[in-house]
Structure formats: structure tokens, C-alpha cells
Chain A
Amino acid sequence: MIGRLRRAAIFASLAFILCAALIGVHTTQTEAGLVLGARPIPLFIMVVMAALAGFAIAPRRTQLARPASPRRWGALISRFLPALLLITGIALPFVGSRYAIDTGTIVLIYIMLAFGLNIVVGLAGLLDLGYVAFYAVGAYSYAILSTNFGLGFWTCLPISGLMAAGFGVLLGFPVLRLRGDYLAVVTLGFGEIIRIVLNNFTSLTNGPRGIADIPRPTLFGYSVSGNADGSLAHMLGLHATPIWRVIFLYYLIFALALATNAFTQRLRAMPIGRAFEALREDEIACRALGIDVTAVKLAAFAIGAMFAGFAGCFFAARAAFVSPESFVFMESATVLAIVVLGGLGSQIGTALAAIIMIGGGEFLRESLLDLSQSPSFTWAAAIAGDIGQYRMLIFGMAMVGMMVLRPRGLIAGRKAGIRLVGAEARQNG
């Protein structure tokens, strides 16, 4: 108890020192010039919050060995959560508003990106801070090929993936000898290079103005929006509403994300997936066992990049517009944060983290707006309007909190890709 109180006091005084100048004072423009005013209440709130956080975090005893059996509710979650998420995902367009479906689509793009990055970071253990570069390559592949050569979405989807994979190999070569921090710095640079090239290669990418009027995806050659000749609605003799396209795009990315998930799950039981994990665990032992570490690393970069390419192609088709602004470092950081928060290597944890981090902010704003409908909570509307500004703050606090409470991610713990018992059964069956 005394330890907790002392910790709370330390936290509070640290928060006071940090926040006194940043939050505690503000300037106002008067006729006499700038006047310094005090802002005691927000400062007080910050200090109290810090104190509470200090009080809540119990000092942990060092554990020599972690208990082998996972917590029971953890097992329960990993059992039922996938089904729950799947059903929610399928049902969303039937029950949600257009806004909800749009948010769902964005969340699914991030889920797909995170699945792809999870192969590189979670499985192969190669820290990649420039992942958004491959997303950009995919998006620009579709944008350029469709607007210049009239290629359709379904032709460009595999091409985008291959282009991104090619760039993955391109990145892979110079970083073959690097690990950890060094690798992270080089990949960070690579991400910036791609963005700067997109910004300045005006003849190809149209520079900062971006590429507009990118054709939308079609369904078996039929346009999904509108009622013109050749549209799906015309063919079926129905009247299309604008929501059709939104729902179609939603299910499209849903299917892509599911495919990515299926691929990753399969990968874990494949020799190359095992080689990825072995590479993460011990590169030298890998080499001593005859594994061509170069090929394995390049494969990891290529496969991870490929899924970013697919997601990028979808992104370009959905927005009908790409510009370098969409591919800043912040996106790489967000995807990496999702992967780390979800638990390295855990698919369901990754999905959950993406939903919370991307969907959570939107959900908060929506519920605040709803709340402000009732007369006694009109103040909530102001917060809802400002929530964009607090997004990064909430993001950061969530990350710090998570790393303190569950340092190995939301769903920690690795499931083996193959089990002897299972293998036996498969062999007999």
C-alpha cells in the first residue's frame, strides 16, 4: 500500500513537472499584447490521472518462469472470438449504417495490412518500419495501369501484389545482413524514398496532385454502382442505390482479408513458415542446418509486401484517388502498432487490435455524437468534434497501457503450426 502511494506521488509529481508548462499556462491575445493566464483545472486533471495510474500499476514480482498453461478465459477467447468476429463481419452490412460499413472497410484494410506485416515482423522477426511503401506500390500500380492502359481491377490485383513483392525483394537485398535496430532504420528510409519518389516523379505519378478518376472494381465485368447499361442493377433488372457499391467494397476487402488470414494460417504449417520462425529464433542455427537464409529473408519480405500490394490496389480502387499523402510514415507506425498490440504472430489478436485502434476512435466519436442528442449531454458534441485531435493521445496512452499490462500483446502465446499428436492423427486418417 505504501509502495503504491509512493508510486502515485512520484507519478503525480512527474506529471506536474511535465505538464505545468505545457498545459498549466496559456496565452491570450489582448489589446495590451500577449497575456499569460493559468489553466489549473486541466493541469489538475492530468496530475490526478497520473497519480491514479501510478496507484493502479502494481509492482510485479519477477517471475522466473511463466506458467505454462494459459488463463482459462484466454483459451475461451481464442476459441470463440474468431467465430464471433466472422459473424459480426458478415452481418455488418445488414445491420450497420453506411457510415459503419465505411468504417468497417477501413478497419479491414488495416487488418489486411497488419496480417501482411505480421508475416515479416511476427513470423520472420524482421522489424519493418517502411511497410507503407509496399501499400503505396500496390495502390500506384493499379492507379497507373488502370488510368494509362485501361486495365481492370481484377487484372491489376495480382499485378499490384507482384509489383509490391518485387519491391519487397528490392528492399530485401541491401538489408540481408542487417538485424534489429539497423534493419528498422533502413526500412524506415526505404518507406520515405518511395514516398519522395511518388512526390517527385511527376511524369509518372502526377506528383503531389495524385492520380484521380481511378476506375472502381467490377463484379464479373458488371459495374456495381449506377443503373446504366452494363451495370449489375441493369442486368438483374433492379434499381441500384449508392449503398450497393459501399457494401460490395466492404465484402471485397472482407474476402481479401479472409484470404490473407487463410494464407498466413497455412504458412505457419508450411516448411517456409517454419523457416521464417526459425530465422526469428536463431539465424546462425538456421544456417548451420542448411537453410539458405538469404532466400528465406527475401521470401518473407516478398510475401509480406505482396499483401500490402493487394491492400493498396483495393485502397486505390475504393478511393478512386491516390496521392503520396496517404502513404506517410504514420501509416507504417499504425500498422506496426496494431501488430505489436495484437500480439506478435497472433492473427486474432491482430484483428482485434485493428478493430480497437482504427474502429475504436470512430466508435467513440459516434457514441459521443449520439450522446449529445439528449439535452443534458450537449457538451459531448464538442468533444466529438475534437476527437481527431485526441486520437494520437489516446493511441499513445493505449499503447503505453498495453505494454505495461500485457507486454506480449492482446492475445499472447504461440500456437505450434504442427503437433505430433495431430500429425499422427492425420497420418492414420
Chain B
Amino acid sequence: MADPILRVQNLAMRFGGLLAIDDVSFSAAAGDITAIIGPNGAGKTTAFNCLTGFYKPSGGEIILQSPNGGPHTLHTMPVHHIAGRAKIARTFQNIRLFAGMTVLENLLVAQHGAITKNGMLGLAALLNTRRHRAAECQAIEHARHWLQRIDLIGSADQPAGSLPYGAQRLLEIARAMCTRPTLLCLDEPAAGLNPRESAALAALLLDIKRQHCAILLIEHDMSVVMRISDHIVVLDHGRKIAQGRPADIRANPQVIAAYLGEEAA
């Protein structure tokens, strides 16, 4: 695997007596979709939370080799720097949109850092200077681009909470993409989608992979995982039990045992 963008080494996460993640190492290559799968409680979301800074790992290293800006040691960075500087964007297992705000506003909040970069502590925005207006217009253009991609341009001025479930899932991905990430982490994006919506999601993710950034994916829907992943990491009870290409994983007896029960092992 050439060119790893993300390296996770000997990651451990302990909650009191519970070892949620036990010495897990894996890496994700630039331009790949890397899927993390495993039964419920395997530690997938915990790994995500370590990666995005919501948890401080009890041990191990997480290093992002971003194409412009050198290595970031994620395990020591606060959450908003991981998103803002290391450029890792994420979505959540249970949708976390700003439900009361409009679709467009959701996408603009995601570009908060970009708009306020030269903002003189908000003074430029208060005085509505030309430079601020330009930054805002650019942000709106970017938002419009993503709204067209997910086919929600007609609902731009509607409250995000009023959208149908599938559209909210897509909007959350679009919002994450509006931060211009180098790595996109998706926590069960296909949960609750019907087969047609899942297919559209898979197409969108392949598009993102080709045009924008690497993707790290937690997913239970195996039809999606097997179709789009380049590389799969399997966790069970906090340990990595397998990794490899989809075809290898499908045939791996340990993985089958973890999913179907211990007797086969």
C-alpha cells in the first residue's frame, strides 16, 4: 500500500476497566476508501472518536501525513484543530445537522474558518468589507457546488431538520466536504437508507474518492462496503482481527467467525 495518508499505531483506548481498543494499528492510503467493519461494540466508533480528537487515546499514535503541511500528530491535537488544521472531516452515526438552520447555513458554518481567516476578529464581517464579501461569496459558491452534487439546491433555504432522512445523510456528507478535508471519516453513512439511496451514496463516495480526498468508512451495510472499499480493516472486541482487500476479507475464516459466532473459529 503506497502513500499512507493516515497511520494509526498501537492505538489503545481504555474507559476505566474496559479496554475498548486494544493495540490496533492500521493505515489508510491517499486516494483510497478504507472501511472499518466489525460487529457491534467492536470499537469502530471509539476509534473514530480517537482519530477526530473527541477522545484522547490512552496509548499509541495517530499521524496524518497531509499532502501540504507535513505530519500532524492527531493524538495530541484539540478537536477543532484536527478539523481546522489537519483537515479531517467527519459525520456522525446519528445525524448531527444544525436542524433549525437552513441547508445553506449548515454548509456556511462548515466554512467558518475559511470565511473568517482574514477577518480581523470579525471586524471585517461587521463592516462588511469587500474582502469579507468576496470570502462569503466564495463560500456560497462552494456550498452551491455541493448542493448541486447532492441534488438539494432547491431546498437551500429550508431548515435542515425538515429534509427527509436520506437527504439529511447526504447533507451531512456535503457539510463535511465543505471544510475541504484531506480525509473524510464517515460513521455509518448508509444506515437507514433504502437500496436506491445506498447506491446513490456509493456513487457519491466513489466520486469524492476520485476527485477530492481519502475516505475512512465505518459501515454495516456489506453491499456498500464490498462494492466501494479498496481496503478493509476488521475489528472485534477492540482488536484488529484482519485487514486486506474486500475479496480476502470475505473469505477470511476469522471474520466469518466474528460475524456469525465463535464455533467456526
Which residues does A use to contact B, with CB under 8 Å? 65, 68, 266, 270-272, 274-275, 277-278, 280-282, 284-293, 299, 414, 416-421, 423, 427
Contacts and interface: CB of A to CB of B under 8 A. Distances in A.
24 contacts: A270-B125, A271-B115, A272-B125, A274-B101, A277-B98, A280-B100, A281-B100, A282-B99, A284-B54, A285-B96, A287-B83, A288-B54, A288-B96, A289-B83, A289-B175, A291-B109, A291-B113, A299-B122, A414-B100, A420-B144, A420-B156, A420-B157, A423-B104, A423-B140
Contact of B105 (A282, A291, A417): A417
A122 B244 CA distance: 50
B contacts with A: majority SS: helix
Contact of A289 (B112, B119, B126): B112
B157 A421 contact: yes
A280 B101 CA distance: 10
A contacts with B: majority SS: helix
Contact of B116 (A272, A280, A285): A272
Interface of B: 52, 54, 79-85, 89-90, 92, 96-102, 104-105, 108-110, 112-113, 115-116, 119, 122, 125-126, 128, 136-137, 140, 144, 153, 156-157, 162, 175-176, 179
B55 to A, nearest CB: 12
A188 B210 CA distance: 54
Contacts of A290: 80-85, 112-113, 179
A43 to B, nearest CB: 45
Contacts of B125: 270-272
Given A274-B109, A286-B109, A420 B140 contact: yes
Nearest to B157: A419
B97 to A, nearest CB: 7
A262 to B, nearest CB: 11
Given A287-B80, A289-B112, A277 B157 contact: no
Given A284-B96, A416-B102, A270 B122 contact: yes
A424 B85 CA distance: 30
Given A272-B122, A285-B98, A420 B175 contact: no
A287 B109 CA distance: 11
A280 B122 CA distance: 19
